[in-house]
Amino acid sequence: MLANFLLSKTLSGQITGEYESPELVAQGSQAAKYSIDLGLRKTFMDRKLSVSLMARDILNSNQHSSTTSGAGFSQTSETFFHGRMYGVTLSYNFGNMKPKVVDMKKKEGTQDMNMEGGGEQL
């Protein structure tokens, strides 16, 4: 599951959840797995500067456990992954990525001439 949300014009967020149900395998079973990640982004200075905060596996639940058994043996294993992580990102956009008004007018003029059908006059 992935959900994006806007809290204001300059504050947005994202939450990601993952769930895998328990599974039966040839000689045993694997337990359910789940994790939740969260991110927030705030922009400043007319969207040129942004600060992002990230939290991975906020429930500290990213682990894998399985049970395997057969004739004369039984084994249970648990694996813990990286665990909870936090991060901060600071970004600054240099320059202007928006097209200039003059360039837009030139494009619109070119499209209009192409739409008139080859310059026939009546």
* Confidence at residue 103, expressed as pLDDT on a 0 to 100 scale: 62
CB 55 within 8 A of CB 25: no
**CA 60, CA 91: separation in Å to the nearest integer?**
28
CB 12 within 8 A of CB 5: yes
CB neighbours of residue 57 within 10 Å: 19
pLDDT tens digits, residue range 68-110?
Answer: 888 888 888 888 777 789 999 999 988 776 666 766 666 666 5
**CA 43, CA 91: separation in Å to the nearest integer?**
9
* Confidence at residue 95, expressed as pLDDT on a 0 to 100 scale: 78
CB 52 within 8 A of CB 88: yes
**Three-state DSSP class for residue 92:** strand
* Confidence at residue 54, expressed as pLDDT on a 0 to 100 scale: 97
**CA 114, CA 69: separation in Å to the nearest integer?**
73
* Confidence at residue 122, expressed as pLDDT on a 0 to 100 scale: 46
Predicted TM-score (pTM) of this structure? 0.64
